[in-house]
Amino acid sequence: MLLFPKEEFLTRMNYTKQKMLEYGVEVLLISNPSNMNYLTGYNAWSFYVHQILVVMIDEEQPIWIGREMDAHSAKVTTWLDTNHIISYPDEFVQSSIKHPMDFVANILEEIGQGNRKIGLEMDAFYFTAMCYERIVHGLPNAEFKNTSTLVNWVRVVKSDREIECMKKAGRILENAMKAAYDTADVGVRENDVAAAIYQAQISGTPDYGGDYTSIVPMIPTSENTASPHLTWTDRRYKYGDYLTIEIAGCYNRYHTPMARTMAIGEAPGKVEELAEVVVEGIETTIDAIKPGITAEEVEAVWSRSIAKRGFFKESRLGYSIGLSYPPDWGEHTISFRKGDRTLLQPNMTFHLMPGIWLDDYGVEITESIRITESGCELLADVPKDLFIKKPASYSGLSLVETPDNQVEFPKKADFSS
């Protein structure tokens, strides 16, 4: 079930060891599931119990340590030899007495790693305060450093195989966005739109299936568009409602996210106006993005564009994306915001996130992009307009189906009344 050739994993391991030298650590303890997957292929919904990947600077293979019932998943999804897969008994699971990191510390002592310089992912989602306390207690002769995003920084430039996964995720995303557009209507419930999005995300395309996304569909309606991270309710849409749709396509854990804003019947003037500002801003920004400029310069282009129209966005304009597990599809490395001087390079990938949220409404029209040799390309192809959905009871219009089973979104002009 290994999804990349072993050579690609060995290359990733070497880049990681190079960074370990930079940071001055001989052993790396990894609990971020995205980093575990990146280095070994490990892929199972088992990160709700503690698990660790041990990378040693002088060993070719890392060691996977996790729950006994998950060791079999490690055998079938990774390139590791079975003697590099170690499991702890079930009595360590969610116990107030026995902690998995006590077990991990014992293993590290046994294999002679207990007195080395050890890097910890101090701010990774599943490396809890208790994990830290037990590891430090169990390894009194080790020296610890914070290597929270060490592997994340290795991940920022994608291989061509990774880009291919993200482009496939882009096709899935296009289908999911179309499913949202097709389903939302007067009298339809918010959850029915979410269900249609899920159906499209997971069924994928006729050629390949979709994977679960690290964030669930976020589709707040009307005044709730001011709260971008609300999910859905079972309220029915009314004529004149508008919604933001932030979703992704996912293929083999690689994400291509996007947001669009849509109105049922017609949009309030303030939403139309804000959408124009956002679309002008994102188009100006995309034209300016190229290798060699910094992340903060990207944000500055956007800020100048919307400032001309009297707007200001406090939150960051986007972030690095790729491989990920819940609860986030962001990579926690590069952000498009003031102070981030990372230089853009080819095959970096970002969610360019121009959402503007005001007191009682918001508009999001966003793109996933890849930095190319000379500029950037979009990872999915969906019209950037504010979507206007003509309610079914108002028209017999149907979307255009092209012969090869690809779908086309209607242009805004087709639907404005």
User: Which of 117, 186, 228, 294 forms a contact with its own copies (CB under 8 A)?
Assistant: 228
Please state the closest distance from residue 109 (CB atom) to its own copies, in A.
20
Please state the closest distance from residue 303 (CB atom) to its own copies, in A.
13
Question: What's the CA gap between 258 and 170, in Å, rounded?
Answer: 9
Could you say whether residue 311 binds its own copies (CB under 8 A)?
no
The pairs formed by 80-88 with CB atoms below 8 angstroms and a separation of 24 or more are 80/40
Within residues 68-87, the interface with its own copies by CB under 8 A covers 68-70, 72-73, 76-77
User: Which of 38, 92, 127, 415 forms a contact with its own copies (CB under 8 A)?
Assistant: 127
User: Which of 58, 110, 160, 314 forms a contact with its own copies (CB under 8 A)?
Assistant: 314
Could you say whether residue 2 binds its own copies (CB under 8 A)?
no
Gyration radius of the chain's alpha carbons: 23
Question: What's the CA gap between 90 and 408, in Å, rounded?
Answer: 51
Binding mask 20-49 for its own copies (x = CB under 8 A): -----------------------xxxxxx-
Binding mask 84-123 for its own copies (x = CB under 8 A): -----xxx-xxxx--x--------------------x-xx
Within residues 267-306, the interface with its own copies by CB under 8 A covers none
Could you say whether residue 4 binds its own copies (CB under 8 A)?
no
Closest CA to 352 of 382, 383, 316: 316
Binding mask 341-360 for its own copies (x = CB under 8 A): ----------------x---
Residues 6 or more apart whose CB falls under 8 angstroms from that of 79 comprise 2, 6, 9, 40, 41
Return the structure tokens found at 379.
């990872």
Residue 281, helix vs strand vs coil: helix
Question: What's the CA gap between 188 and 232, in Å, rounded?
Answer: 12
Could you say whether residue 133 binds its own copies (CB under 8 A)?
yes
**Cβ count near 329 (within 10 Å):** 24
Please state the closest distance from residue 291 (CB atom) to its own copies, in A.
23
**Cis preceding linkage at 327, omega within 30:** yes
Task: Give the residue carrying structure tokens 């707007």.
Answer: 311
Please state the closest distance from residue 14 (CB atom) to its own copies, in A.
24
Task: Give the residue carrying structure tokens 């800020």.
Answer: 303
Could you say whether residue 185 binds its own copies (CB under 8 A)?
no
- Between 16 and 224, whose beta carbon lies closer to its own copies? 224
